[in-house]
Structure 1
């Protein structure tokens, strides 16, 4: 990807007092933990693999290994019907008392968990070279500090570690995205702190800004195939987030929180604090269009307006689905969170709302959240900070609902054992 396009900071002289962030190389190698990394321990044990351990106890078989039946319940079921899908729930306990990546059966019984770190997120079943794998993000720190000290983990369904992605050349995997493509690569995002003159935005002349970074990485070789930075393409003026009054506190102006492939080979990036999603060309890094926000290239009808969103992706060739939080707890655009489907006419630059799901209890998630289309047409929804998970049939009827003891960044359902 080229830099310095679209009126980026790289194109203009620095403002007085402005310092450039370190430019990151476009292609470099990571230190990956390969097949030689120690796997999980025997029953009742914990094996540390650099940053964390996988805990398994008791004696039920899962994927040829022993998994826990003695772990705390993952959730309490509120509603379940015959129309609910088969498969287990992939979750992350983000509470400080018992953080974990975990898998639970439909009744809420935990069947497997990874523990030993202070933060976990984005546990899910994915595919690597045609084989099912379990992936998650973990960090030895909590809160904002976790943005800069995490790593992504890939294991087989036998819970043996295949590889990990850690910090490399100033970039550390962040909790918001770890997506495996069908050609052996991974999409990750990161938050890299740089210094800018924010006096035009009510801040200090020298104040840190969080630069949203997207990378595509070859999992076999560790090569960084594509590298993109928000400050090269999204102006600070696009942000809806206020500048911190403390000049030492970073301004998270963009807040990158998802990156998914588009049907035509580009990448779709969600920026929560801009209230927009960006279609980015993988060949050049140029923004092909913006959907939503202050500079939308599409006309978005009032009924389809979204804010503080998460998890944007194409569900088919012309339809984008996203989780619209609607609020950050301070600025509220919608009183309840919702899943929106927007059909895009790229030639006419018109977005049309074609589908909308909300929870019967008018659930509002201040942060986090996702939606997953299941094979039977149902939709699995994680409500983030609202501590709820739900499944809807294709017509929007609630067929499964549960309450979590702690928030989970996302929630997925999958059959794997």
Structure 2
């Protein structure tokens, strides 16, 4: 018994058993976590360095398995190859990583081997990363801001080759709450910008069976002078389309201002050489041409379709589409991404596809030239893009809400497909890129030097954003009066985003740095001197094994103690403490 004055305190056996099991569970959980972190996951990656495509697509490695680089702490998804053809375009791929399984989301550039070239961080939510030309110079452009539902409020950044923000473009408010939307930012040959906006406004929704005094998420686009910020043109959907032309249903939308009804949903704007605007409206299933004075010239698809389909209905049956673009004005050829789904309540086809259409505008006819369907017939409920690549005459399709990137020959033959997440898990928004683009015309020259870090006699090196690095040279520094002298110790070709040098046989050197070499062998830049650090991976593994053994030992002792004291019953268990209180 435990004596507290003259009182007697008894601990019941079931309380001790409960505490014992709590200790076992906690110790086991910690040991299991450390085992998985330091043994199981590294073992799986070691056994499958390229990731088994079948297990990858089934989600065995997670929604979007990632890798973290030792040299700079950046992370990016580990991709899986569904199909490969050496004739695929060798340009860079431009994405905006988003989704619940993506660590540190942000804009990213990959090379033709799916290796990371650049990862941008610190921009909040981003979309629409691509290369565009302004005043004869190449820029990386993308939207950045806050996303709410299917819309966004933010600004558009333009980064130069050093990844410095040189221009920031905003929508022109004109006394309203208009901000730049995430769907579009297109620089025209006249050095102006096309951008989309959404604005909540009162509207009569009685034609939809809703209140007459309802709320509408009106959408439209602006053309803005980049240099001055001057508004050159503005167009709003509600001035030209009726709300009952929509195919969208939302039982709660439109009754209150915080949940407006989105009847039109503009998601792309293009401009032709005559000054006409090509716009895509997802919720009316239409692509329209707008004149420079804002009038509708023609409508393709939707309730007001003006084109006769020469492909037995397969040219105008696109639904919930994105990214309508001119390929050839002279031939009347456009591309778009046909989602065929607008969410679980709006499924209108078995799979999504890229489309190439030929329009005879004078005779108002349309023909489906080619369709572009992914390897496993992916259907994605939102986002997506279709890009014609003139150098190879291929078509590159990003499947938006589904982490699938596909490249096709012009006739629709699938050549290459890459996954940056498990496609079937896309319903949980695990890995998403609103659009995907390819371009060979980007040269990155970051201001920051290469990053180098030494862990356990391995020196890891990378240079975030550098596109011209062909090889790395390892140099060792002298000591004393020769401290400023550096000797070339090793060379390796750059194959991956991060490379490493083995320092185990170079104990005579205490200081190291790495130089980046271009294809002519000239130095592009040096890393800072890398200090030595020790990795805790093996200590973590040993600790996991130790804790697991402790947990098993505690469990065994606990079972023995319970067996020996099973007869204590109602008498309780008494521990005597000599000191009286």
* TM-score, normalising length: structure 2: 0.58
Contact 1:69 1:110 in 2 (8 A): no
2:96 aligned with 1:84: no
2:302 aligned with 1:293: yes
Give, in whole Å, the separation in 2 of the partners of 1:294 and 1:200: 15
Structure 2 match to 1:72 = 76
Give, in whole Å, the separation in 2 of the partners of 1:148 and 1:119: 9
Structure 2 match to 1:255 = 265
Q: How does 1:12-31 map to 2 (within 5 A)?
A: none
Q: How does 1:174-189 map to 2 (within 5 A)?
A: 174-189=181-196
Task: Report which of the two structures shows the higher radius of gyration computed on alpha carbons.
Answer: 2
Residue 71 of structure 1: CA displacement? 3.0
Instruction: Report which stretch shifted further, 394-403 or 263-272.
Output: 394-403
2:125 to 112, 119, 132: 119
Give, in whole Å, the separation in 1 of the partners of 2:172 and 2:369: 41
2:314 aligned with 1:310: no
Structure 2 match to 1:28 = none
Contact 2:147 2:153 in 1 (8 A): no
Contact 1:260 1:312 in 2 (8 A): yes
* Partner SS for 1:407: coil
Contact 1:263 1:316 in 2 (8 A): no
* Partner SS for 1:208: strand
Q: How does 1:59-208 map to 2 (within 5 A)?
A: 70-73=74-77, 75-96=79-100, 97-139=103-145, 141-144=146-149, 147-169=151-173, 170-208=177-215
Give, in whole Å, the separation in 2 of the partners of 1:75 and 1:133: 26
Structure 2 match to 1:381 = 397
2:235 aligned with 1:228: yes
Give, in whole Å, the separation in 2 of the partners of 1:277 and 1:395: 23
Residues 1:233 and 1:224: Cα distance change in structure 2 (over 3 Å)? same
Residue 210 of structure 1: CA displacement? 1.0
Give, in whole Å, the separation in 2 of the partners of 1:78 and 1:193: 43
Residues 1:176 and 1:402: Cα distance change in structure 2 (over 3 Å)? same
2:438 aligned with 1:413: yes
Residue 86 of structure 1: CA displacement? 1.0
Specify every segment of 5 or more residues in structure 2 that has no aligned partner in the other structure, as ranges.
1-68, 422-430, 444-581
Structure 2 match to 1:275 = 285
Give, in whole Å, the separation in 2 of the partners of 1:147 and 1:379: 27
Could you list the per-position Cα deviations for residues 197-247 of structure 1 after superposition, in whole angstroms to 9, with x for gaps in the alignment?
212212223221111111111111111111000001111121101143251
Structure 2 match to 1:353 = 368
Residues 1:74 and 1:213: Cα distance change in structure 2 (over 3 Å)? farther
Give, in whole Å, the separation in 1 of the partners of 2:294 and 2:147: 31
Contact 2:106 2:125 in 1 (8 A): yes
* Partner SS for 1:384: coil
* TM-score, normalising length: structure 1: 0.80
Counting matched residue pairs gives 350
Give, in whole Å, the separation in 2 of the partners of 1:153 and 1:213: 20
Residue 340 of structure 1: CA displacement? 1.5
Specify every segment of 5 or more residues in structure 1 that has no aligned partner in the other structure, as ranges.
1-56, 60-67
